[in-house]
Structure 1
C-alpha cells in the first residue's frame, strides 16, 4: 500500500516573509502619520483606526524582539489579511473593523 503525501513548502523567511512584514509595518507608520488629515474617514472611524494602529505598533515591537524564527510564520498568518493593502486601503479597513488582540509572547 502506498501513501501519497503532499508537502507544501513554507515561504522562505529571508526572501518573502521578513521583507513583507517590514514593508507592512512601514505602511502602518505612514497611515499613523497621515491619520489626522484623512478626508475619507469620519471621527469614529479615525478613533477606531487609531486604536487598531496602536495594536499594530505593539505587534511591530514584538516583531523586532522575536528570537524564534517560527514566530515570523505565526505573525505572517495573523496579519495576512492586511499585508497586501496599500496605505489608503489599510486606513479604510482599520477604520471599519476592530483588530483582535494578538501577541507572540506568553502572558
Structure 2
C-alpha cells in the first residue's frame, strides 16, 4: 500500500464478503482494493476471535490486526496458522 493514508482511512466500515454477508471492521485502510483491517476487542470470547478470523477470510482481507486485552489460549494456535494471510494479534499489557 502506498499513497496518502489519511484519505483512505474509514471507521466502522462494512465490506461485503463472498458469502453476501456484510462484515463491519472498526478501521479499514484501503488502497486500490487492498485492505488493512483493524478491530479492537476487550476480553474477547473464543467466538469473538473466530468471528474476526472468519470475516477476514470471507471479505478476502488478507492483512488484519486484532488488538485485544487478552487473547483466549484456545485461539492462539488458530491465528498462528494463517499461512496465506497476515492476520496479527496485539495483546495489551495489563500492567
Do the two structures share a fold, i.e. TM-score over 0.5? no
Q: Which has the higher contact order (CA 8 A, sep 6+)?
A: 1
The structure whose Rg is larger is 1
Q: TM-score, normalised by structure 2?
A: 0.26
Q: TM-score, normalised by structure 1?
A: 0.25
From the two aligned structures, give the one with the greater helix fraction: 1
